[in-house]
Amino acid sequence: MRRALLLFLPIVLVVGAARAQAPGPGVTVTYLYDNTTAAPGTKADWGFACLVETNGRRVLFDTGTQPEVLRANLAALKIDIATLDALVFSHDHGDHTAGVSVLGPRPGLPTFFPASFSEATRAAFARQQLKAMPVTAPADVVPGVMTSGQFGTAIPEEALVVDTDQGLVVIFGCAHPGVVEMLRGIARARNRPIHLVLGGFHLLETPADQVARIVTDFQAMRVAYAGPTHCTGEAAIKAFRKAYGAHFVEGGVGRLVKVPIAAGH
């Protein structure tokens, strides 16, 4: 009974100006790069990046496509990424990795990515003095945050996973190996329920009947909140929005998603 009550503790959705306040207890995810915008003054572009803050640690997940767009969005949102505890990349596509140069040299910054990443991408990381942390299996990033490990072979990919008292928060770059397949693997590996799923679900060209099955699979896995964006496609996003209602999480640059800590934690 206690788990069921925690599972549906409401998340908090705000945009833009709320980032001027320091994140409180819980998990805060701020969209920095996306196909749409949620906050005034930000720029939309094809790609994805978000900042995850929890337990006093800050993790940047993906970096979008154009450094100048990421830089402009950070300025508009008044977010300073001079200090980061880790950098995590989902997969080796430019709309998720090419914005990395905005960081400048970061000697020793732990940088997690699937071991399948190309030598060219690794060389770009080396030029910025990032500490390469190639992974195949799940790996801890900072306390409470881990990578899912590498899924798939055609386009290998990993997700970012945050453990909360309500269940797992899972963030995808594009979920090329299959969003349901990846979620099932993550749930089995962690033996934890999935509370919230955000990011790109890669359903842009997926037929409507298959999208409907994927939505049903989410519900069967008891995913409490869904926030598809980026490469998910408008039709699939609409299907999730209809199915999840008040538990649907809109995307867009500047969106802040807060998963609070339950009372007593």
- What pLDDT digit, counting tens, does each position of 57-67 carry? 999 999 999 99
How many residues are listed for the chain in this entry?
265
pLDDT in tens, 145-184: 999 999 999 999 999 999 998 899 999 999 999 999 999 9
pLDDT in tens, 202-212: 999 999 999 99
What letter would DSSP give residue 99? G
Cβ-in-10-Å burial (0-12, 13-18, 19+) of 205 comes to exposed
pLDDT at 11: 62
pLDDT at 24: 63
Q: Assess contact for 73 and 253: CB atoms under 8 A.
A: yes
pLDDT at 130: 98
Residue 232: name the closest of 220, 246, 244, 221 by CA: 244
Pick from 5-19, 202-216, 250-264: least confident: 5-19
Residue 210: partners with Cβ closer than 8 Å, 6 or more residues away: none
Would you call 214 helix, strand, or coil by DSSP? helix
**Res. 225: pLDDT tops 80:** yes
Q: Which CATH class is domain 2-247?
A: alpha beta
Question: How far apart are the C-alpha atoms of 64 and 237, rounded to whole Å?
Answer: 20
| Element of type H or E holding 213 | helix 208-220
| Element of type H or E holding 117 | none
Q: In the structure, what pLDDT confidence band is assigned to residue 20 with cuts at 50, 70 and 90?
A: very low
pLDDT in tens, 25-55: 789 999 999 999 999 999 999 999 999 999 9
Question: How far apart are the C-alpha atoms of 42 and 125, rounded to whole Å?
Answer: 26
Tell if the pTM clears 0.85, that is, is over it: yes
